Amino acid sequence: MTETTRAWLLSDAPQTRRQARMGALYQGWLTFRANRLAMVGLAILILLVLVAAFAPWIAPQNPYAQNLAERLKPPSAQHWLGTDALGRDILSRLIHGSRVTLFIVGTVALIAPVIGLFVGTVAGFAGGWVDQVLMRITDIFLAFPKLILALAFVAALGPGIGNAVLALAVTSWPPYARLARAETLTIRNADYIAAARLQGAGPLRLLIGHIWPLCVSSLIVRVALDMAGIILSAAGLGFLGLGAQPPMPEWGAMISDGRTYILDFWWVAAMPGMAIFIVSLAFNLLGDGLRDVLDPKGGRE
Amino acid sequence: MSPLLSVRNLRVDFPTRSGMFEAVRGVGFDLGRERLGVVGESGSGKTMAGRAILGLVRPPGKVTAERMELGGESILNLPESRMRRLRGSRISMVMQDPKFSLNPVMTVGRQIMEGYRLHTGESRAAARDKALEMLRAVQIRDPERVFDAYPHEVSGGMGQRIMIAMMLAPDPEILIADEPTSALDVSVRNEVLRILDRLVGARGMGLIFISHDLNLVAQFCDRVLIMYAGRVVEELPARDLHAARHPYTQGLLNSLPRLDRPVERLAVLRRQQGWRDAPPEGAA
Amino acid sequence: MVQPDMTGQPGRGTPPPAGGVPSARAARLRRRARSLGGLVLSLALTLLGLLLVTFVIGRVMPIDPVLKVVGERATQAQYEAARIAMGLDKPLWQQFLLYMGEVLRGDFGRSISTGHPVAQDLRRVFPATVELASLGTLIGVCVGVPLGVVAAARRGGWIDQIARVVALVGYSMPIFWLGLMGLLLFYGILGWVGGPGRQGIIYDGMVPTVTGLILVDSLIAGDWAAFRDAFSHIVLPASLLGYFSLAYISRMTRSFMLEQLSAEYVVTARVKGLSERRVIWGHAFRNILVPLITVIALSFGSLLEGSVLTEIVFSWPGIGQYITKALLAGDMNAVLGGTVVVGTCFVALNLLSDILYRLLDPRAK
């Protein structure tokens, strides 16, 4: 970056709205960059996305190709992470599995906060009985043990990756709704909302134009911090056989496959577990860093 | 008579990302059995100077001084265990807002007894008597009930009187009062001040009264230190305040409205770089 | 975070009335009792919702409950008779009322896979889960709370760094995988602990059931060998759950403590000349006790749930394993019964922590 761009970004007196916004983003990036662990998390996640995108070209072997002669082989030069009970290359399956993981996490992280944002802001903005009813529903969902509710949903809808995503989304929106409601309550009576109202803005316009944008940043932080939890829950469903179905290379299901052989062929279960651990650790590191940038007062700590 | 407290060239430094921040830069004074006012705007280092005397500057803050003596003995950077024995029993402090400075989950009585028992080793019963006596001394009408009350159940003015009772219970020689009335309603300020004045006077204590309110200090104290940017810029008897020579003090005085001398527009204080480092006016 | 949301309680945080000394302690208690009434009501509503959701899930299931009872080869007449006997011909709202009545009477129907009434099965499996989760929470509290307090008191010090890593790893580790690796290491390789299951085969059914908690029952019976055996089986899964619990509890404790340590009353305590230990434990810690109770209750609740995966890994005959097996077998009565019980525990824990909050915090209205 040239010195002039930098100066333009860091200017105390931005000339345009765009400059101010870009400047704020750049400041945030500088804060984020100073957090070395968060950068490590970001790097791992970028790597994950690249691996997922180019999986067929990176994977040394076909993740579905069975070779019973080569079954349960320990890590070696030919199979870096060993082979599973059907002689499939574990590394290749992990690489292809990153697509499944990203799909699940991405979809849940899109659906749940949107439901939560909608429910929470409507409840907080409307108040009265609407608030009462919506929050009571939220409480009911919160009272359910999340994983068991997800299990029941998947059982009702039938196992499969799509239903697993749906179940996770349905069980993880309530905290977002509470957060969005709390934010809405604090800004509902702000002067600029009153000003917008005086200018004739209707409730829908206030909600979409003024309240949603303000709730988004705290929701993003919360989502970033929840990503790891979503990965772990998804892997848990896979482990129980209720997520992605075989032969899809889902990491949780791979651990479940390896469980039978754990005492003699440890790598079959160990490798996918490491993958899950590294990715959710990366999300946690990233989430911590993002929180410092977007929410300096600190949400979790 | 030797002073109760003698401080020379006190400095408090905090390392920050952009170099050392010098919160207090060479403050010196002697305190006898008197009421010494310390006046300055926020950020002038007056609170930090008070905390440095009590040894309450937490790392990474650093306290240095040429001399910091309590009754002739140095208390500069004493080991924490020895400093603890002085704190509360010989020097004490009353802070700004009783809403925050009283522990919300402990009854008033327990909080008063705690420090007293620690320093005197008295029995629970004796401590209870003392606490009730102190509550009466700060003119609380129903001490038995207040004794069992929690801090959120008492008003601000009452809270500050409780705070005074608590800090004076172990009979300290010096009390640092850091903006003790700023958080209170105007109506109860005078009452709290009167109680403070009476108790401090009757016990022959030294009082360091930290405030940003020049008029208040002029009425209430014997002697005034004016602080600016971590330094004492002027020191003078409270009754001579109107004759202050330092331009900062004059500026502060002129920026206050006066009923006896109305002006069209109040003067605005103009700060000068030179004040930061010039030697103090008046007797040092 | 895998842990539940912190704000699960309704009606919190109303500021205390300002000014004046109120009459006495009695008045305080009376006011609290009245607000508890509203709380119980709102929790009853939540429980009702819980039943409604389980009922709906039960009806949505692509499994025909009648077919499960009468078998594939039943005639049409037999099928209809069973359908009417099960009340499935009635309108949905009547079915729900019937269902509610049964649940309130503690009747969850008969489990198809075990052949016993579900309530009887639950009485058997629930204590196993409670035993595991209690021990896990105990470990989490005994290690997590001091760790969090010390980490906050020595912020940035080496204990703080360790606490940070411990929590980060705890938040990122798949529990079932760590369990498998633990089994591999401590059972498979080192042989330090008992293997999967709750007891060794030779001790199975040897200890008379009193509480259903084998550790307690074997102590009551004075059977040391059985106690040792049960302990060697529970220690690994309980430590595992304890680790996740302590990751959460230590983080929350730390952040509560940091907030309190920057409060003015802490300076007051130091001005009084109190020792640092007394400032931290006697003043700051007392202020976090109440929120901490909520955290511990929530953590216990999440362990009841989190034990699903752990129980599978360790073949622990608890409620999590029971529900999962029933799910895979399409045994809907068992699934719903188990879900209702766990959900009720969640609600009860929330209620308990709220009651404690109102009783212990002098500022609670």
The closest CB to that of B104, out of C20, C24, C287, belongs to: C287
Chain A residues near residue C301 by CB distance under 8 angstroms: 145
What's the longest Cα–Cα distance across chain B? 63
Q: Residue B3: CB partners within 8 Å, gap ≥ 6?
A: B30, B31, B32
Strands B67-70 and B73-74: antiparallel
The closest CB to that of C264, out of B100, B105, B106, belongs to: B100
Amino acid at A10: L
Q: Which helix (H) or strand (E) covers residue C338, if one does?
A: helix C332-360
CA distance B194 to B139: 11
The closest CB to that of C274, out of B95, B118, B149, belongs to: B118
Query: Tokens representing A78?
Result: 């030919």
| pLDDT in single tens digits along all 365 residues of chain C | 333 333 333 333 333 333 334 445 566 666 666 667 777 777 788 888 888 888 887 776 666 777 767 777 778 888 888 778 777 778 888 888 888 888 888 888 888 888 889 999 999 999 999 999 999 999 999 999 999 999 999 988 899 999 999 999 999 999 899 999 999 999 988 888 888 888 887 787 778 888 888 888 888 888 888 899 999 999 999 999 999 999 999 999 999 999 999 899 999 999 999 999 999 999 999 999 888 988 998 889 888 877 788 999 999 999 989 988 888 887 878 888 888 888 888 888 888 888 887 777 777 64
CA A131 to chain C, closest CA, distance in angstroms equals 13
CATH topology of domain A24-60+70-298: MetI-like fold (1.10.3720)
Please check whether residue C22 touches B, CB under 8 A. Answer: yes
Query: Tokens representing A113?
Result: 């906060």
B142 to C272: CB separation less than 8 angstroms, yes or no: no
CA distance B199 to B137: 8
Interface test with chain A among C51, C63, C180, by most A beta carbons within 10 Å: C180
Task: Name the nearest CA neighbour of B169 among B203, B130, B197.
Answer: B130
Report whether the peptide linkage leading into residue B60 is cis, meaning its omega lies within 30 degrees of zero.
yes
| Summary mean pLDDT of chain A | 85
| A219 pLDDT tier (thresholds 50, 70, 90) | confident
Q: Are B102 and B162 in contact (CB under 8 A)?
A: yes
CA distance C150 to C280: 9
Q: Which residues pair with B68 in a beta bridge?
A: B7
The closest CB to that of B118, out of C20, C25, C273, belongs to: C273
DSSP-derived secondary structure letter, B123 = -
Chain C residues near residue B154 by CB distance under 8 angstroms: 20-21
Chain B residues near residue C273 by CB distance under 8 angstroms: 84-89, 115, 118-119
CATH of C119-364, one of 2.60.40.10, 1.10.10.60, 1.10.3720.10, 3.40.50.2300: 1.10.3720.10
CA atoms within 13 A of residue B98's CA, in its CB half-sphere: 26
C270 to B87: CB separation less than 8 angstroms, yes or no: yes
CA distance A19 to A26: 10
Residue bearing the bigger pLDDT, A299 or C297: C297
Q: Residue B79: CB partners within 8 Å, gap ≥ 6?
A: none
In chain A, which residue's Cα lies nearest the Cα of C323?
A: A148
Q: Residue B76: CB partners within 8 Å, gap ≥ 6?
A: B63, B64, B65, B67, B68
CA C284 to chain B, closest CA, distance in angstroms equals 8
Task: Give the neighbor-by-neighbor strand order of the sheet with B231-237.
Answer: B91-94, B174-178, B206-211, B35-39, B223-228, B231-237
Q: Are B218 and B258 in contact (CB under 8 A)?
A: no
Q: Based on C-alpha coordinates, what's the Rg of chain A?
A: 23
Query: Tokens representing A4?
Result: 């002039």
CA C56 to chain A, closest CA, distance in angstroms equals 10
CA C359 to chain B, closest CA, distance in angstroms equals 12
Can you give the pLDDT at residue C11? 31
Strands B5-16 and B62-64: antiparallel
Can you give the pLDDT at residue A190? 80
> If you count residue pairs, one on B and one on C, with CB atoms under 8 Å apart, how many are there?
88
CA atoms within 13 A of residue C152's CA, in its CB half-sphere: 28
Q: How many CB atoms lie within 10 A of CB B106?
A: 20
The closest CB to that of A277, out of C173, C312, C320, belongs to: C173
C-alpha distances out from residue B250 to B35, B40, B247, B271, C328, Å: 22, 13, 5, 11, 86
Would you state the torsion angle of the CA atoms of residues A227, A231, A236, A240, taken in this order, to the nearest 10 degrees?
130
B101 to C268: CB separation less than 8 angstroms, yes or no: yes
Per-residue pLDDT of A62-110, as tens digits, reads 888 888 888 888 888 888 888 888 889 999 999 999 999 999 999 999 9
Mapping DSSP onto H, E and C, the string for A85-146 reads CCCCEHHHHHHHHHHHHHHHHHHHHHHHHHHHHHHHHHHHHHCHHHHHHHHHHHHHHHHCCH
Per-residue pLDDT of A231-250, as tens digits, reads 998 999 899 888 888 888 99
Q: Are B24 and B230 in contact (CB under 8 A)?
A: yes
Amino acid at A208: I
Tokens 């196993």 sit on residue: C128
Per-residue pLDDT of A17-60, as tens digits, reads 888 888 888 887 887 888 888 899 999 999 999 999 998 998 88
Helix axes A146-157, A161-172, angle to 10 degrees: 140
Chain C residues near residue B167 by CB distance under 8 angstroms: 271-272
Mapping DSSP onto H, E and C, the string for chain A reads CCHHHHHHHCCCCCCCHHHHHHHHHHHHHHHHHHCHHHHHHHHHHHHHHHHHHCHHHHCCCCCCCCCHHHCCCCCCCCCCCCECCCCCEHHHHHHHHHHHHHHHHHHHHHHHHHHHHHHHHHHHHHCHHHHHHHHHHHHHHHHCCHHHHHHHHHHHHCCCHHHHHHHHHHHHCHHHHHHHHHHHHHHHCCHHHHHHHHCCCCHHHHHHHHHHHHHHHHHHHHHHHHHHHHHHHHHHHHHCCCCCCCCCCCHHHHHHHHHCCCCCCCHHHHHHHHHHHHHHHHHHHHHHHHHHHHCCCCCCC
CA A108 to chain C, closest CA, distance in angstroms equals 14
When mean pLDDT is compared across A193-197, A293-297, B271-275, C104-108, the lowest value belongs to A293-297
Q: Is C94 helix (H, G, I), strand (E, B) or coil?
A: helix
Range 149-178 of A in CB contact (< 8 A) with C: 149, 151-153, 155-158, 174-175, 178
CA C257 to chain B, closest CA, distance in angstroms equals 14
Do the two chains C and A touch, given a threshold of 8 Å on CB pairs and at least 3 pairs? yes
B167: containing domain: 96-171
Can you give the pLDDT at residue C22? 43
CA distance B160 to A79: 74
B87 to C271: CB separation less than 8 angstroms, yes or no: yes
Neighbors of chain A with 3 or more C-beta pairs under 8 Å:
C
Helix axes A90-126, A128-143, angle to 10 degrees: 150
Chain C residues near residue A153 by CB distance under 8 angstroms: 57
CA distance A49 to C300: 36
For the question of whether the overall pTM of this predicted structure is more than 0.80, the answer is yes
Can you give the pLDDT at residue A23? 82
Alpha helices in chain B (DSSP H): 46-53, 80-86, 98-101, 108-120, 124-137, 143-147, 156-168, 186-202, 214-220, 247-254
A148 to C169: CB separation less than 8 angstroms, yes or no: no
DSSP-derived secondary structure letter, B268 = P
Angle at C281 between CA C276 and CA C283, to 5 degrees: 85
C362 to B118: CB separation less than 8 angstroms, yes or no: no
In chain A, which residue's Cα lies nearest the Cα of C334?
A: A152
Q: Based on C-alpha coordinates, what's the Rg of chain B?
A: 19
What is the domain partition of chain C in residue ranges?
20-104, 119-364
Can you give the pLDDT at residue C10? 31
Q: Are C325 and C113 in contact (CB under 8 A)?
A: yes
CA distance B103 to C265: 5
Please check whether residue C304 touches A, CB under 8 A. Answer: yes
Q: Which parts of chain B have pLDDT scores under 70? A: 1, 17-18, 258-259, 267, 270, 274, 277-284
Query: Tokens representing B210?
Result: 């930290």
